[in-house]
Structure 1
Amino acid sequence: MQEFYEIVSSATEEQCQNLAELTNSGFGHSPEILCDHIKYLRGGSIGQFFCHTSWKQIVTDVADQVGINWSEILDHRTWHDLSTQEIEDAVVVKQFQNMLEQLTPEQRQQILQDLRQESDDPHLEGFLLTGGAMLAAKMSGFGVYLLASTVLGGLTGALGITLPFAVYMGVSQTLAVILGPVGWTALAGGVLFSLNQPNWNRLGLSVLYISTLRHSRT
């Protein structure tokens, strides 16, 4: 968990509080407590004490749950050749695609239009048209940040989580407006990992949020 610890150690107190809220950490938001809580989410009450896995492995586990296309992201490489950030980005892309699939054509067009206005990334347009983890590797950090923050805004709304600090771009606010209160239920049914264990949902939120922290600095 050294990589996770280093990221949250360099985050602001507000950002750590946001992460604690997203992961439902009830014992604080220090880097040490957040690391322990991620282990708890992955291993459970007993398993957390035997959880010595890396953040990369946890991100990989989440990627398996959301069903990313490993052959596409590997591209003739091995898992050891991938960086954790590449896997995080693939999770962001997959969850963004899942989110778009739950919207009406009109809602989808409005979100994509706002994304185009927010970023001049030449690869973002290609992704919006075709999707795919390969394009995520070519997008700018800000482009990935836009996607991650938009999905994060949708998922927190679906889960009923209200963060104490503003962390989302205007696109997420647009998503809230076009869906309205009734739309969150439908969105949740299609995007929230299709799993019964809430720990996977919280781990997924943590992956999305760590991605925003990485790319907000690029």
Structure 2
Amino acid sequence: MHATNYSTLDNDFSYQDIDYLMPYPTKLFKNLNSEQKQVFQKLLNKKPGESFDIEKELSGIIMPLKGIFQKKLNYEEILQKINKHYNLQDTTSSVQKMEEQLLLYKFKENYDKLSPEEKKKFQDELNKVLENQNLESSQLASLGTVGALALAELSGMGLYIMASTLVGGLTSLLGITLPFAFYTGMSSFLAFVTGPVGWAIGIGAFAYSVRNESLESISKKFRTTFTASKNLVRGNYELASVIVVQMCAFRIILNQEKNKEIQVLNSKIAKERTRKEQISSKVEMVELQLKRIQEEKNKLDKEINAISSSLKNHELSVSKLKSKLI
């Protein structure tokens, strides 16, 4: 019988290699902390710490009769069905692009339902964030509307703000506090999106029907409404879209945090490389100086040897002359 050499396997695959090969969305849930996982546990009516297969759960949510006697869909197939349900026709993109397409759609759909006063508040808070990023006036003007925000490519600023709004609104509604690593100057924005406007953008029209109730009551009604079996026959696409949007938002936020760490490390790498080059240049100079010193030493050694030989000859001559003295 062939025995597997596990030590060889360990040597062939580093931790980073295995993590890189891990499929999505498994990799996402592996990187979520316990508080972040609570969002999905509550949306899926799971107990704290209870594990689950997200593809199996989503398949059961969107398929008729909760997917009983039906084949489980993979995540790409799930996204294709959800996006098709919302008439988002581009279902041939990558999984990440389909997620982001749904996120943008739900964000805009919920934002459009805000009152003029709420939209103004959101724009005011958004402008504070953009100003704190030291953007030029032309950039600020182009990003000053939510429509343009979707197209922002300033280090993922647009998607990051949308993701933070969607996650902040829902987690606040569920009574979960997440320690976001926000951009500098976004603390007031975080406080804003975890309030009623954030709830409205995060979950849509439902927020308006309960906006005058306590947070505990709202949270309970939200879970009951979105996980109810009223869509048993045709599938609960609203709940599925909330879950997928949250997955996408968490991916964007986590990637932004990782990219910030990468940026810091790349900055350190650049500085250390510069320092290394400076030291290497000094080493070359020192080596050149040492070479010159060695050459000078060799030259002096030759002179010393020549003088020593001459001295010896002179001393020998003196000795011979002394021996001839009368």
Q: Secondary structure at the match of 1:24?
A: coil
Distance 1:126 1:186, change over 3 A: farther
Residue identity over aligned pairs, in percent, reads 18
Partners of 1:23 and 1:167 in 2: CA distance = 22
The answer to whether residue 105 in structure 2 is matched with residue 84 in structure 1 is no
The answer to whether residue 177 in structure 2 is matched with residue 165 in structure 1 is yes
Does the 8 Å contact 1:16/1:29 carry over to 2? no
Residue 152 of structure 1: how far off its partner (Å): 4.6
Partners of 1:95 and 1:171 in 2: CA distance = 19
Residue 183 of structure 1: how far off its partner (Å): 6.0
TM-score for both structures, normalised by structure 2 = 0.48
Gaps of 5+ in 2: 1-22, 181-189, 201-205, 212-221, 257-326
Match of 2:248 in 1: 211
Among 200, 206, 211, the alignment partner of 2:237 is 200
Distance 1:116 1:90, change over 3 A: farther
Match of 1:41 in 2: 61
Q: Which moved further from structure 2: 53-62 or 89-98?
A: 53-62
Match of 1:147 in 2: 162
Q: Which moved further from structure 2: 93-102 or 42-51?
A: 42-51
Q: Secondary structure at the match of 1:87?
A: helix
Q: Secondary structure at the match of 2:25?
A: helix
Gaps of 5+ in 1: none
Q: Which moved further from structure 2: 98-107 or 58-67?
A: 58-67
Q: Secondary structure at the match of 1:50?
A: coil
Q: Secondary structure at the match of 1:103?
A: coil
State how 1:48-87 maps to structure 2 within 5 Å: 50-68=70-88, 70=89, 74=90, 79-80=91-92, 82-87=93-98
Distance 1:178 1:85, change over 3 A: closer
**One-letter amino acid of the structure 1 residue matched with residue 209 of structure 2:** T
Match of 2:38 in 1: 17
Q: Secondary structure at the match of 2:97?
A: helix
Q: CA RMSD in A?
A: 3.9
Q: Which has the larger radius of gyration?
A: 2
Match of 1:185 in 2: 209
Among 95, 98, 103, the alignment partner of 2:106 is 95
Match of 2:28 in 1: 7
Does the 8 Å contact 1:66/1:95 carry over to 2? no
Residue 185 of structure 1: how far off its partner (Å): 1.7
Q: Secondary structure at the match of 2:238?
A: helix
Residue 66 of structure 1: how far off its partner (Å): 3.2
Cα deviation digits, residues 128-149 of structure 1 (max 9, x gap): 353596x27x464343132134
Q: Secondary structure at the match of 1:93?
A: helix
Partners of 2:48 and 2:199 in 1: CA distance = 36
- Choose between structure 1 and 2 for higher RCO, CA contacts under 8 A separated by at least 6 residues: 1
Cα deviation digits, residues 99-137 of structure 1 (max 9, x gap): 12211212101112212333548599448353596x27x
The answer to whether residue 133 in structure 2 is matched with residue 113 in structure 1 is no
Match of 2:290 in 1: none
Residue 51 of structure 1: how far off its partner (Å): 3.2
Distance 1:7 1:183, change over 3 A: closer
Cα deviation digits, residues 147-189 of structure 1 (max 9, x gap): 13423555678xxx5243337833422444897xx9622899x
